């Protein structure tokens, strides 16, 4: 797990970077002008900082966001910082498979390549509720929406990698919270059980799913011989809009543990490092924090659990599609 000493001191790890490194620092000197980067939840928090840094390095950035007003403001902020930046915004509600499919169609209609997919958006610690498709909200938004989106866009990524010879990269935003999940890891038989619902464990479950998703993607890409990597990252503790459901308690926690918290530029560093840095070429199926590979929980390393989650997720999205047919 993440070293407390490293968190407190900001001491660099084997990559040369650490908890104090910023997104700009870890991408210094990188030319991304040949890349198209799609990031979900790029309208605020570390998603916005990630989008800004990607655009600063001349990547063509596509922001998927539920709130189009916020996305438009984010685009203007990026353009103010980097005049001439290539930024497009498209509406995306990850809690709706209908919206995810519409977003994928809209992106494909742009006739752009796709080099990097950053599955960043999410919700945290929300009260029990179900998505439009009748799935517990944190699992639906944080995992299932990204699972479907990735499946819908992976052929475009394969096509881009073949045509350009440039390695494609998928980055799933997970969390150290993945260790605090339900007893049997994923509630495959009771995903919507309101009586068993715990906002913290449901969040941990969804973040575990993000790591397992990247792990299974990586296995499939390697088996197929595809030039795409898939990794998961823990951005660190950052006070962002994700904490809107527990703002008071989180501020109290932050007061007593201020040395553990990062600012937004530091929080976006690991995502940007894994998505852009040359040292990450060929690295896949791993989990990173503070721009260094670390070992996740035993559940997150379980290959059979990853395959079971893949099949379960496929069943859920197919069920949602058939119910709307």
- Tell me which residues are annotated as active site: 197
Q: Which residues does residue 118 pair with via DSSP β-bridges, in sequence order?
A: 39, 171
Per-residue b or e along 82-94, where b marks 16 or more CB atoms closer than 10 Å to that residue's CB: beebbbbbbebbb
Read off the tokens for 219: 């296995």
DSSP 13-25: -TTS--TT--HHH
Give the SS3 label for residue 84: coil
Q: Which helix (H) or strand (E) holds 148?
A: helix 145-164
Give Cα 312 to chain centroid, integer Å. Answer: 20
| Residue 192 burial class via C-beta count within 10 angstroms: exposed 0-12, middle 13-18, buried 19 and up | middle
Give Cα 15 to chain centroid, integer Å. Answer: 21
Find out whether 170 and 217 touch, Cβ atoms under 8 Å.
yes
Task: Give the C-alpha distances (Å, rounded to integers) separating 153 from 150, 182, 324.
Answer: 5, 30, 21
Nearest-angstrom CA–CA distance, 291 and 271: 8
**For the chain, how many residues are written?**
325
Q: Which helix (H) or strand (E) holds 251?
A: helix 247-256
């Amino acid at each position: 797990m993440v070293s407390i000493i490293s968190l407190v001191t900001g001491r660099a790890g084997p990559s040369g970077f650490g908890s104090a490194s910023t997104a700009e620092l870890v991408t210094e000197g990188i030319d991304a002008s040949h890349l198209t980067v799609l990031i979900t939840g790029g309208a605020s928090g570390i998603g916005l900082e990630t989008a800004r840094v990607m655009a600063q390095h001349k990547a063509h950035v596509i922001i998927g966001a539920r709130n189009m007003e916020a996305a438009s403001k984010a685009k203007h902020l990026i353009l103010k910082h980097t005049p001439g930046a290539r930024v497009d915004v498209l509406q995306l509600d990850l809690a709706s498979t209908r919206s995810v499919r519409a977003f994928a169609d809209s992106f494909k209609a742009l006739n752009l390549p796709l080099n990097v997919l950053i599955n960043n958006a999410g919700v945290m610690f929300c009260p029990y509720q179900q998505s439009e498709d009748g799935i517990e909200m944190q699992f639906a938004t944080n995992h299932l929406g990204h699972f479907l989106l990735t499946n819908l866009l992976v052929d475009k990524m394969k096509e881009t990698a073949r045509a350009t010879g440039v390695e494609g990269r998928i980055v799933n935003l997970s969390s150290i919270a993945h260790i605090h999940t339900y007893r049997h890891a994923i509630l495959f038989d009771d995903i919507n059980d309101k009586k068993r619902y715990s906002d913290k464990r449901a969040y941990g479950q969804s973040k575990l799913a993000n790591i397992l998703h990247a792990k299974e993607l990586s296995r499939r890409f390697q088996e197929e011989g595809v030039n795409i990597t898939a990794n998961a990252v823990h951005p660190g503790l950052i006070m962002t809009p994700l904490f809107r459901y527990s703002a008071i308690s989180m501020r109290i926690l932050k007061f007593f543990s201020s040395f553990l918290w990062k600012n937004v530029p530091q929080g976006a560093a690991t995502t940007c490092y894994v998505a852009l840095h040359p040292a990450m070429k060929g690295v896949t199926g791993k989990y990173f924090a503070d721009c260094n590979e670390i070992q996740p929980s035993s559940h997150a390393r379980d290959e059979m659990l990853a395959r079971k989650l893949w099949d379960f997720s496929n069943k859920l999205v197919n069920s949602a599609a058939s119910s709307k047919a």
